Structure 1
Amino acid sequence: MDKFTYESLIKKYNAQRAERFAFIDFVVRFLGGLNRSDLLDFFGIGDAAASKEISEYKRLRPRNVDYDRVMRKNVILRDSFTPLIEIDAETALGMLANGFNKNKLYDRPMLPYKRVGMVPRHLDIDLISKVTRAIHSKTAIKCDYISGNSKNHDERTLVPTAFFYDGHSWMFRAFHRESAASGGVKFKCFEFSRLKNVTECSNDSALPLETLAQDSDWHLLVPLQLTLHPSLSDSKKSTLIQEFGLVDRDDDFLVTEKAVLVYYLKKHWKIDVNDNPSGDGNYNFHLKNSSTLKHLECMENVFKYL
């Protein structure tokens, strides 16, 4: 089977058609299927042109999709799918978050660029695609997960609902059926890099209580009243004022974040959540309204070690 790069597709066809084939390949792989309206909406082409491009894609990759008459769309053939264009996991997740972008398919940055700290195979794109398809179709997956907070590495049944980037790692939100059944936390955050052995349960649809709409902590926005930490030197304060775009000579500012994501903000921004500022000098900010947030169940990890 022929292997392509985006550039080689352009040479074989033209820039417009290469972009359409790359788009079809991307949507099928990460969302599980597409129909003509996806091409109509994204490229503004007509029905005939859309049908032509899908037919040509099927000729290039005859074992990638099949038309499902019930769903009225071309759905992925999971067991035989072979990408038309290889794409790395970071790029794929970035486009799922921000929209398909043909410029991301070129291996030629506009200015000298290097990503620091890329770990080989840190993110398994095949496992990621199974999760993103489950998010899109609102179905379950079974997986092994190497948790950093628990010794329980048994198989889990998750219903993925959303994904996010915390500044360092790509993660996803999911309803955890085993935890919910035992009276534990229903919705949790998981790191893509800790997944193993993901199996899609394409016929196991999410129950109403397992959907993102029922994840109240995901939708809850909380105010964080932050102030530059009193242990900082004047030079460090000036640096943070510049980096965070703060008003000069004003140490206090307010940010609003999803309740479930405050834990990650605390970690990466180095926020001291003690009632009274700590004197150990390892913090950038102090949370002034911690007393009003401690009662929230989803804040347990934020205040866990106090």
Structure 2
Amino acid sequence: MTQANDNPDLPPLDELRWEVRQRLTLLETSLLLSGRVNTVALTSRFGISRAQASKDLALYQKLRPHNLVYDRFLKNYVITDRFEPLLVRDTSAEILALLQADLRGEGPLISLAAGMPAVEVLEPVARRIEPQILLPVCRAIYAGEKLRVTYQSLDGDEPHEIVLTPHTLVYNGFRWHVRGYSERKEQFRDYLLARMRNTPAAAGLGERFAADDRLWQTWVTVRMVPHPKLPPNQATVVADDFGMTDGALAVELRTPLVPYYTRLMRVGAGDTEMDPRFRQIVLANKDEVLPYVTF
């Protein structure tokens, strides 16, 4: 969440032009990561004039005068010990996401700061989804339409035709699927985009949507705690690592997403019997979660 600016004579942050907010956000991120920023980095990253870069830095100084000072020796604006975020959320997740995007060559920081930390990221193999599969699904969700598609389930040898009304795209940490109403099964189900074998064809207006999906509209809290066999000091470290509050991490989820999440977090039945060196957290409320997941 962005903070209010320190200067009542300036317009509120949400009234600044989008491109100005973007430049100030990346300026602030650079300041956080490398401890400094200058006009050269801004001009090379955004293709703006030196005069415009100077205006951006001056504006940021007016909005947060105690966040940075000019160091004549370094010829850079440097961070102060009174720094308080203005535009960047007060968490590491946003900054780490930017660094991860930069590693793939997709990010905004590559030419902004001269001293980014070294980063290496391991990611699962990206599952290929053809645009001719994805785009009709997106359009059907938007238009509330049914789709007719040939689908290859791993439960059968041959592909079969399904008619579904999709309502939500879901990424489960490894693969993309679509949640929707199946005419054949007469229920809401999940279908992997990668198993659709032809271009989905429009099949008229849908009749059952997300509001009719009872399980989708039902929420459950998945509660995780450090493994009970961990010594107290190790349990404290695990709790800190996962950002637990009072020794527990509680995540509220739509019930169809619970099976994916428990697999992603590697918690579930039998986790308390496992060696805590290899399963540091366990599911604490199995009785509540069990109706929505098959372990």
TM-score category, normalised to shorter length: 0.5 to 0.7
Alpha-carbon contact 2:127-2:175 (below 8 Å) kept: no
Counterpart mapping for 1:183-194 below 5 A: 186-194=187-195
Where does residue 167 of structure 2 map in the other structure? Answer: 161
Cα pair distance change 1:266/1:232, threshold 3 Å: farther
Cα pair distance change 1:108/1:256, threshold 3 Å: closer
Shift of 1:167: 2.3
Alpha-carbon contact 1:222-1:258 (below 8 Å) kept: yes
Alpha-carbon contact 1:140-1:201 (below 8 Å) kept: yes
Shift of 1:158: 1.3
Of 217, 220, 229, the residue aligned with 1:219 is 217
Cα pair distance change 1:129/1:246, threshold 3 Å: same
The 3-state SS of whatever aligns with 1:198 is coil
Shift of 1:145: 2.4
Shift of 1:216: 0.9
Q: 1:176 aligned to 2:177? A: no
> How high is the TM-score relative to the length of structure 2?
0.53
Cα pair distance change 1:273/1:125, threshold 3 Å: same
Counterpart mapping for 1:1-306 below 5 A: 109-112=107-110, 117=123, 122-148=128-154, 151=157, 153-180=159-186, 186-202=187-203, 204-207=204-207, 210-231=208-229, 237=235, 240-247=238-245, 250-274=246-270, 277-281=272-276, 282-294=278-290, 296=291, 299=292, 302=293, 304-305=294-295
Structure 1 alignment gaps of length 5 or more: 1-15, 17-106, 181-185
Question: Taking every aligned residue pair, what percent have the same amino acid on both sides?
Answer: 20
C-alpha separation in 2, matches of 1:152 and 1:178:
16
1:68-96 CA distance string (max 9 Å, x none): xxxxxxxxxxxxxxxxxxxxxxxxxxxxx
C-alpha separation in 1, matches of 2:124 and 2:221:
33
Structure 2 alignment gaps of length 5 or more: 1-18, 20-104, 111-118
Q: Which amino acid aligns with 1:162?
A: T
Alpha-carbon contact 2:162-2:182 (below 8 Å) kept: yes
Q: Which amino acid aligns with 1:211?
A: F
1:4-58 CA distance string (max 9 Å, x none): xxxxxxxxxxxx9xxxxxxxxxxxxxxxxxxxxxxxxxxxxxxxxxxxxxxxxxx
Q: Which amino acid aligns with 1:141?
A: L
> How high is the TM-score relative to the length of structure 1?
0.51
1:167-220 CA distance string (max 9 Å, x none): 22222101111112xxxxx11112222222033225x1112xx21110011111
Structure 1 segments (4+ residues) deviating >6 Å? 233-236
Q: Which has the greater radius of gyration?
A: 2
C-alpha separation in 2, matches of 1:118 and 1:291:
31
Cα pair distance change 1:225/1:205, threshold 3 Å: same
Alpha-carbon contact 1:158-1:176 (below 8 Å) kept: yes
C-alpha separation in 2, matches of 1:211 and 1:262:
20
Alignment size in residue pairs: 185
Cα pair distance change 1:226/1:138, threshold 3 Å: same
C-alpha separation in 1, matches of 2:249 and 2:225:
6
Cα pair distance change 1:234/1:155, threshold 3 Å: farther
Cα pair distance change 1:118/1:278, threshold 3 Å: closer
Where does residue 94 of structure 2 map in the other structure? Answer: none
